[in-house]
Structure 1
């Protein structure tokens, strides 16, 4: 006898296959969602960690900014002190130069034939005024000044006849440049 199967086997197989595919698709979708959730969670943790690190670095930078400002203040103070020390050294050198100039002029003047009425030093220029018996005495004094290592470029600014106590004398004005000799500057760069 013949048996006839009236059940739709093919349809049932197709439906079972479709259910398996849908279940597999749902499983894949759930696994994919779990992976995306894990990656998202990890990214949120990284962002949070980086944000915390950024705040920490910003705070650290702020503390370094205060230190940098102190360093800049100290650098400016150091420059100011160096400038003041340089000014003090220059003043000491100028004072020493003035003393030596007075000594040079005193040693080179013929005090029996001439005398000074004024001596003015401003920076590297020196002006001498005085009275002499004659022009030859003035010329000799100029030559002696030129021999000085501290005096250069001696010029006669003016010379005129002046009557003092009934005697005709020569009034003169000299201009010259003054500086330390080069060899002395190298030996004593800082005058104490």
Structure 2
């Protein structure tokens, strides 16, 4: 029989297998390194984009904060202006109130039957002192005060007999609670 020596062939095949395994391992390692390097590059790009977006957002935030401060300043200016307008309206109403009050009093006086001796106007009340020929004149005057719509309550404080130039007349004192001019203006606006 022929003897074939297969040992050198097996040794060569074993060396070839080792070389193949080493090259596959080396190629796998190189491929893994390239894949990790590529992944790292992608992460760096994403990180750069996110940083750029963050910077853009910070810049926009600065712009919006500046605009917000401007809006707050405008709101404060508007509030101040509104307060000034309200003060002006109040002053305007208060300026007209004494004229309105005196005009209404002259319309309500019963001619040739009564006259005022004193007239006091507080913030929310009016005290009227005067003389009338009789009780009915005082009652009619009080009724006119109540019907005028300028007063919420009309009260006769005193009514007494007084002699003026040898003539008996009725001395009276009436206190009235005023309706604020603002409320009167609102009532006129509704009607």
- TM-score by structure 2 length? 0.80
2:14 corresponds in structure 1 to 14
1:176-187 aligned at under 5 Å gives the runs: 176-178=177-179, 179=181, 180=184, 184-186=188-190
> What do you get for the CA RMSD once the two structures are aligned?
2.8
CA offsets 1:106-140 (integer angstroms, 9 cap, x no match): 11113642214123141xx3312312145443322
Residues 176 and 6 from structure 1, CA distance in 2 versus in 1: closer, same or farther, beyond 3 angstroms? closer
SS in 2 for 1:56: helix
The question of whether the paired residues in 1 share the 8 Å contact of 2:152 and 2:176 is answered with no
Q: Deviations over 1:28-82 (max 9, x none)?
A: 1101110111110111121122112212211221122011011011012112212
Q: Which runs of 5 or more residues in structure 1 are unaligned? A: 188-192
Contact 1:129 1:172 in 2 (8 A): yes
- For 1:173, the equivalent position in structure 2 comes to 174
Q: How does 1:57-96 map to 2 (within 5 A)?
A: 57-96=57-96
Distance in 2 separating the partners of 1:88 and 1:181 = 15
Residues 151, 176 of structure 2: 8 Å contact kept:
no
Correspondence 1:114-153 to 2 at 5 A? 114-122=115-123, 125-133=124-132, 134-153=134-153
Compared CA separation, residues 33 and 115, structure 1 to 2 (3 A) = same
Q: Deviations over 1:69-113 (max 9, x none)?
A: 110110121122123223322332343343222111111113642
Structure 2 gaps, min length 5:
none
Counterparts of 1:176 and 1:116 in 2: how far apart (Å)? 19
SS at match of 1:17: helix
- What are the residue-to-residue correspondences of 1:95-114 with 2, within 5 Å? 95-110=95-110, 112=112, 113-114=114-115
Instruction: Identify the structure with bigger relative contact order (alpha carbons < 8 Å, sequence gap 6+).
Output: 1
Partner of 1:43: 43
